[in-house]
Structure 1
Amino acid sequence: MMSDLLWQKAGTRTDERIMRFLAGDDVVLDREFFLQDIAASKAHVEGLAAIGVVTAEECAALLRELDTLAADFHGGGFVLDARYEDGHSAIEARLTERLGDAGRKVHTGRSRNDQILVATRLWLKQRLAELAACCREVAAVCLRRAAGEALPLPGYTHVQRAVVSSTAMWFAGFAEAFIDDAERARQTLAWIDANPLGTAAGYGVNLPLDRELTTRVLGFARMQVSPIYAQLSRGKFEIAALDALGSALLDLRRLAWDLSLFTTAEFGFVSLPAEYTTGSSIMPNKRNPDVVELMRASYSAVAAARAEIEQLLSLPSGYQRDLQFSKGALFHGFSRGLPALALLPDLLAQLAWNPERMRAAIEPSMYATDVAIEQAAAGVPFRDAYRRAAEAAADPARTPEASLAARVSPGAAADPRLDLLRERLAALG
């Protein structure tokens, strides 16, 4: 049975079935955001003290109890469960139980609307910082391996053998992809780094709240000024964060597809670390790339989360209860996506190429493009050179190494410009 509801008034009755429907899994999801909600409550208390709504003694007591609550929650001494409607009411109930009237003052000038906004915003800042760091780590591993080895590798278009490529080019391609992903995560973090605390239910309050103070205390870059926009940004900012995560997971999906193909017996280009594979439950001869396959699948959770939140936003301005469902989607998207990315640096550092199998897959026809461009460079119109190269017998003297050494266009095998990628990565911190 829930404890007393924050909004319940004398003479009103509640239906337990309706209350269960209204609460849904909110109290369980709020465990994920609870420490951020406590941090925001501390900032709010300091703001109330700054304008004289709570005394210095009450402020000190409230801050002390909020710290104790955070420690109890972290250590398992306090459990956010069905006794409470949500995490917000749990905080107020605990403070009231311990401090009486001082606890009853804590909700002055705020709403559960700006409580969840600020808790979610703080949570998203942490997750986006983790995303950026993970992408930087992936890029760093890729750059190290790109610089350390340049084994000939077939390059494919339409999953057909096309031209000679190399392991260095493969790693450099994903290095630049994840540098972009890290930059996008950082830009998204900067965009949402705005403090909504003090906007209440979306229209402000008749108190001179010190919103600049709470912005500084909570470490936000700026204050989100308009109370109405604070409500309008709910869902919009979550989608932006999921888009940043999705960008990295789309790159992970393509990388995982490559590894899924390259580890098959038909290709045999790559061996994965044993701990990244599992055995079959029925076929003793099998080792399956299950980790890579689940990495490939992880984007689906982010896409689903984004779609769910987007569908919630067919709403007028102001707060609507529909937005409660955005929390679950946001949490599930990040809880599926970030762990998948976190496994990638070690996997990339340990995977082993099979040079013999890769070289054996490079057939003479894959030099045709080299031949056509060589003739064009000698003055033959390219379309004529193209036809001649397609019709000419392959030169058995050509080698993958010579093909790669002649690829001098910026970014290609003979001029990879890894220094430029390292500079971009270093600039991201």
Structure 2
Amino acid sequence: MSDLLWQKPGVKVDARIQKFLAGEDVILDREFFVFDIEASRAHAQGLQQIGILAADELAGLERELSLLADDFNAGRFVLDDQYEDGHSAIEARLVERLGDAGKKIHTGRSRNDQILVATRLWLKDRLSRLLATCRESAQVALARAEAEQAVPLPGYTHLQRAVVSSLGMWWAAWAEGFVDDAQRAADTLAWVDANPLGSAAGYGVNLPLARDHTTQALGFGRMQVSAAYAQLSRGKFEMAAIEALTSALLDLRRLAWDLSLFTSAEFGFVALPSQYTTGSSIMPNKRNPDVIELMRASYSAAAAARTEIEQLLSLPSGYHRDLQFSKGAIFHAFGRGLDALELLPDLLRNLEWKTDRMREALDPSMYATDLAVDMAREGLPFREAYRLAADPARWAEGDPDASLRARVSPGASGELRLDALKERLARLPE
């Protein structure tokens, strides 16, 4: 390992203790590294504005930071255990290439605000991806709701046949769910979009740091003003981002459950695209819906990550090393969660319905609710109509198309109001 940034003369470094302290940090920092580099560039520009760096020193730092990013992306620079973490790797590279100019880069900042700004930049990127994926999923669901709105589909409660429903209702439900998820991602993104760089270790520094410049240069919507709150907010904004992710993953989990049931031979309502299924290692006849099963399971990683971070936050104000463990949690949550969600739009586009099987699954009992409401509309008290409609002798083979057309309460099959969902979708930020 290279010399530690904090090492002082006469301080012995125990290799076992240092291994424990570093943990997986340098490996995890690969996720943040390009964002840390960009924040270092903005910080250097700010230092030049307040006279800490000369113009030629800034030019050299910007050049070397760009080369470092290129080398990292191309695999020519490897962030490994010769460094304590990504922050020390950047500084070591700049000192190696530029000497004293590289030694100046850390003026006015701490590894505390370095990790805060890199985390927020990384989360902004992931929340943008989440927003885009939820928007696309909603768009696909809305298009299919419009195209297939009158196709009958059995509606279930308690996994028992309940009433006649439609593909329009099924698709509209997921469309509105993913519109909500996209809105939540957008709201969380706006909340996370605050620049902590320049808060140093949580108490500021005796320099007029150009925080307005770094805010603009890094594309933040605003500055996180209080240096002390910058530290207090750590963990809080990571949990908020994971909660936005889990909102979408909850919808994905329930949608995947529907598809798991509907693809079974007992239902037989859906055929999945072949690339979303796998074979059995022993049973030649099997095609298994493994992708949707893993989609269904992906919520667990995000839920566990949120709990892990929440358990770290029983802390007083100021920075504490406990928070190092929050990095792995967010990487695992968004890695697993976005991998699952980003497969969803194409699955929704390409799944095929077996409409004959869906119609065959409709039975006379599923029109009983329509019958009760029809009698109530004619003036019979509903509870009496309910009692009469419960008699199987009154059930007859119904017309599913007429049932769907007659369901005109707002949001039901005869009054889907897809335009209202389209309008909400159109108002989402890009």
TM exceeding 0.5:
yes
Cα deviation digits, residues 63-114 of structure 1 (max 9, x gap): 1110110011011110000110000000000000000000000000000000
2:338 is aligned to: 338
Q: Residues 378-393 of structure 1: matches in 2 within 5 Å?
A: 378-393=378-393
Instruction: Provide the secondary structure at the position in 2 that maps to 1:411.
Output: coil
Tell me which amino acid in the other structure corresponds to 2:290.
D
- Residue 297 (1) aligns with residue 297 (2): yes
- Maintained 8 Å contact 1:235/1:326: yes
Question: How big is the shift at 1:382?
Answer: 0.7
Aligned length: 428
- Aligned partner of residue 162 in structure 2, secondary structure: strand
Q: Could you tell me which residue of structure 1 aligns to residue 356 of structure 2?
A: 356
Residue 121 of structure 1: aligned partner: 120
State the Cα deviation string for residues 375-422 of structure 1 (Å, max 9, x = none): 111111111111111125244352111110100011111111011111
| CA distances 1:243-270 after superposition (whole Å, capped 9, x unpaired) | 0000000000000000000111111111
Q: Distance in 1 between matches of 2:393 and 2:296?
A: 40
Answer whether contact 1:37 1:118 (CA < 8 A) is retained. Answer: yes
Partner of 1:60: 59
Q: Which amino acid aligns with 1:378?
A: E
| Aligned counterparts of 1:206 and 1:146: Cα–Cα separation in 2 | 60
- 2:263 maps to 1:263: yes
Equivalent-residue separation in structure 2 for 1:16 and 1:183 (angstroms): 48
Is the contact made by 2:363 and 2:397 (CA closer than 8 Å) also made in structure 1? no
Tell me, what secondary structure is at the counterpart of 1:162? strand
Q: Counterpart of 2:302 in 1: which secondary structure?
A: helix
CA distance in 2, matches of 1:36, 1:108: 19
- Number of the residue aligned with 1:220: 220
SS at match of 1:251: helix
Instruction: Trace 1:166-181 onto structure 2 (pairs within 5 A).
Output: 166-181=166-181
Q: Which residue of 2 aligns with 1:147?
A: 146
Give the distance between the partners of 1:81 and 1:45, measured in 2 at CA.
25
SS in 1 for 2:16: helix
Matches within 5 A, 1:361-400: 361-400=361-400
Q: Distance in 2 between the 1:205 and 1:105 partners? A: 15
Q: Corresponding residue for 2:200?
A: 200
Q: Structure 2: how far apart are the matches of 1:129 and 1:368?
A: 46
Match of 2:237 in 1: 237
For 1:285, the equivalent position in structure 2 comes to 285
SS where residue 163 of structure 1 aligns? strand
Q: Which runs of 5+ in 2 are unaligned?
A: none
Alpha carbons 1:407, 1:414 under 8 Å: kept: yes
Counterpart Cα distance in 2 of 1:345 and 1:193 = 27
Partner residue in 1 for 2:313: 313
Question: Paired residue for 2:130?
Answer: 131
* d(CA) in 1 for partners of 2:395, 2:82: 78
Aligned-residue offset at 1:128: 0.2
Any conservation in 2 of the 1:365–1:394 contact (CA below 8 Å)? no
**1:310-349 deviations in whole A, cap 9, x for unaligned?**
0000111100000000000000000000010000011111
Q: Provide the rounded CA distance (Å) in 1 between the counterparts of 2:319 and 2:348.
A: 45
Asked whether the 8 Å contact 2:239–2:310 carries over to 1, the reply is yes
Aligned mates of 2:26, 2:397 — CA distance in 1 = 70
Q: Which residue of 2 aligns with 1:420?
A: 420
Aligned to 2:154, the other structure's residue is in SS state: strand
Tell me the residue number matched to 2:100: 101
Counterpart of 1:151, as a letter, is V
1:360 deviates by 1.1
Q: Secondary structure at the match of 1:155?
A: strand
Runs of 4+ aligned structure 1 residues displaced above 6 Å come to: none
* TM-score calculated relative to the size of structure 2: 0.99
For the residues of structure 2 that align with 1:168 and 1:351, how far apart are their CA atoms? 15
Structure 1 stretch displaced more, 291-300 or 414-423: 414-423
Distance in 2 (alpha carbons) for counterparts of 1:300 and 1:275 = 24
Measured in 2, the distance between the counterparts of 1:205 and 1:309 equals 29
Q: Distance in 2 between matches of 1:169 and 1:339?
A: 27
State whether residues 136 and 182 of structure 1, in contact with CA within 8 Å, keep that contact through their aligned partners in structure 2: yes
Checking the alignment, whether the CA contact within 8 Å between 1:278 and 1:288 is kept in structure 2 is: yes
Query: Is the CA contact 2:365–2:392 (under 8 Å) kept in the aligned structure 1?
Result: no
- Residues of 2 paired with 1:256 and 1:394: CA distance? 37
Whether the 8 Å CA contact 1:62–1:103 is kept in 2: the answer is: yes
Deviations 1:188-228 (A, max 9, x none): 00011100000000000011101001000001010001111
Counterpart of 1:70, as a letter, is A
Give SS of 1:84's match. coil
Secondary structure at the residue paired with 1:153? strand
Q: If the length of structure 1 is used for normalisation, what is the TM-score? A: 0.99
SS of the equivalent of 1:207 reads: coil
1:249 lines up with 2:249 in the alignment: yes
TM alignment of 1:399-410, pairs within 5 A: 399-410=399-410
Contact map agreement 1:151 1:167 (CA 8 A) in 2: yes
